[in-house]
């Protein structure tokens, strides 16, 4: 297999279903603002918040479209980050939202990171420390290799990678988030809580059971995410309470889909909405779940060209 990204695709790619409510309101076509979204091919698009219209905004310069790792697409107020793996190296790309320019550099891993082809599986932005945390998989071709995940931090300006002295037994990191100086990393089977002060890791139970998530976004001390349905093919929108490690599912009897289980989620804090790119009845749609009223809307996405099947919402911008 020629590309590590394709090797990891066994863990990355899947189709999950959950459904939209029949009482969803029909939105007006006029857009108040747009969501900023990144595709797995490195395109940056705008999506109208009411129309669902996708239009071109910018492009990460210099990326190879088949080697981008969607689990590394993260954003802050000024930048969007992602990595691509072109064997045997990882390259970090940084897109400046103001100038619409891209900086990039091949990452050099410390010698402590062991493996045949170390590959970043996920990234998370720490807005307090102004750094990136990454989880590097040492042996991406050996899914059962013990202690295969290495915690690193990356300076977004110099691109310097620092190993933080922690490796732990997670085969792949599909989705991450940071809250209260802890990094949470989820695979298909388990979630690790990583203490960013003493650099320790432990598996966690939520509602006294194994818990996995995808497309997570933090809102105060609560996380909204997508979670696999128990015993069913599909996911629900879930509220994960970090104070007591409990969760609450919403729309559990509904049926929508996502193409990729890895990557970040997005909360529009102005409108109290968890916003996600979904599949419904064979169409790609924008789903907006109001975390206050527990109601939601779904809007069919349209584009002048084919709609990319992997879109990750990272921000909102004025029209």
pLDDT 10s digits, 88-124: 999 999 999 999 999 999 999 999 998 889 999 999 9
- Global pTM value: 0.88
Q: Is the pLDDT confidence value at 190 over 70?
A: yes
Q: Residue 277's pLDDT band (boundaries 50, 70, 90)? A: confident
Q: Determine the pLDDT at residue 186.
A: 92
Q: Residue 261's pLDDT band (boundaries 50, 70, 90)? A: confident
Quick one: three-class SS letters along the chain? CCCHHHHHHHHHCCCEEEECCCCCCCCCCCCCCEEEEEECCCEEEEEECCCCEEEEEEECCCCCCCCEEEEEEEECCCEEEEEEEECCEEEEEEEECCCCCEEEEECCCCCCCCCCCCEEEEEEEECCCCEEEEEEECCCCCCCCCCCEEEEEECCCCCCEEEEEEEECCCCCCEEEEECCEEEEECCCCEEEEECCCCEEEECEECCEECCCEEEEEECCEEEEEEECCCCCCEEEEEEECCCCEEEEECCCCEEEECCCCCECEEECCCCEEEEEEEECCEEEEEEEECCCCCEEEEECEECCCCCCCEEEEEEECC
For range 185-210, the mean pLDDT: 90
Q: Residue 208's pLDDT band (boundaries 50, 70, 90)? A: confident
The domain that holds 25 is classified in CATH as 2.120.10.80
Length of the chain: 319
Measured distance CA(274)–CA(223) in Å, rounded: 10
Strand pairing of 131-137 and 149-154? antiparallel
Domain range for 304 is 4-317
Q: Residue 5's pLDDT band (boundaries 50, 70, 90)? A: very low
Number of independent structural domains in the chain? 1
Q: Determine the pLDDT at residue 262.
A: 81
For range 200-218, the mean pLDDT: 88
260 vs 275: which has the higher pLDDT: 275
Q: Both tokens of residue 165? A: 């002295």
pLDDT in tens, 148-183: 899 999 999 999 999 999 999 888 898 999 999 999
Q: Determine the pLDDT at residue 145.
A: 62
294 vs 281: which has the higher pLDDT: 294
């Amino acid at each position: 297999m020629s590309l590590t990204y394709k090797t990891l695709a066994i863990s990355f790619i899947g189709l999950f279903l959950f459904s939209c409510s029949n009482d969803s309101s029909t939105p007006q076509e006029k857009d108040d603002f747009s969501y900023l979204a990144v595709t797995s091919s490195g395109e940056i698009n705008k999506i109208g918040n009411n129309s669902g219209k996708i239009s071109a905004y910018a492009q990460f310069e210099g990326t190879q479209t088949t080697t981008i790792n969607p689990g590394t697409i993260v954003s802050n107020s000024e930048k969007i980050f992602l990595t691509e793996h072109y064997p045997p190296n990882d390259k970090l790309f940084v897109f400046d939202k103001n100038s619409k320019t891209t900086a990039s550099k091949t990452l050099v891993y410390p010698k402590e990171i062991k493996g045949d082809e170390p590959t970043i599986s996920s990234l998370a932005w720490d807005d307090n420390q102004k750094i990136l945390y990454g989880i590097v998989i040492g042996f991406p071709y050996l899914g059962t290799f013990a202690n295969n995940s290495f915690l690193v931090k990356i300076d977004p300006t110099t691109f310097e990678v620092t190993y933080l002295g922690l490796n732990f037994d997670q085969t792949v990191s599909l989705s991450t988030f940071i809250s209260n100086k802890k990094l949470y990393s989820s695979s298909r089977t388990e979630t690790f809580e990583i203490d960013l002060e003493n650099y320790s890791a432990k598996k966690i139970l939520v509602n006294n059971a194994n818990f996995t998530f995808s497309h997570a976004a933090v809102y105060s001390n609560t996380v909204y995410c997508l979670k696999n349905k128990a015993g069913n093919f599909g996911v629900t929108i879930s509220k994960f309470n970090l104070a007591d490690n409990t969760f609450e599912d919403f729309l559990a009897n509904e049926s929508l889909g996502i193409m990729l289980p890895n990557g970040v989620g997005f909360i529009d804090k102005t409108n109290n909405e968890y916003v996600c790119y979904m599949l419904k009845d064979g169409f790609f749609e924008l789903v907006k779940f109001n975390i206050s009223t527990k109601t939601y809307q779904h809007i069919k996405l349209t584009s002048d060209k084919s709609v990319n099947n992997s879109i990750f919402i990272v921000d909102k911008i004025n029209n």
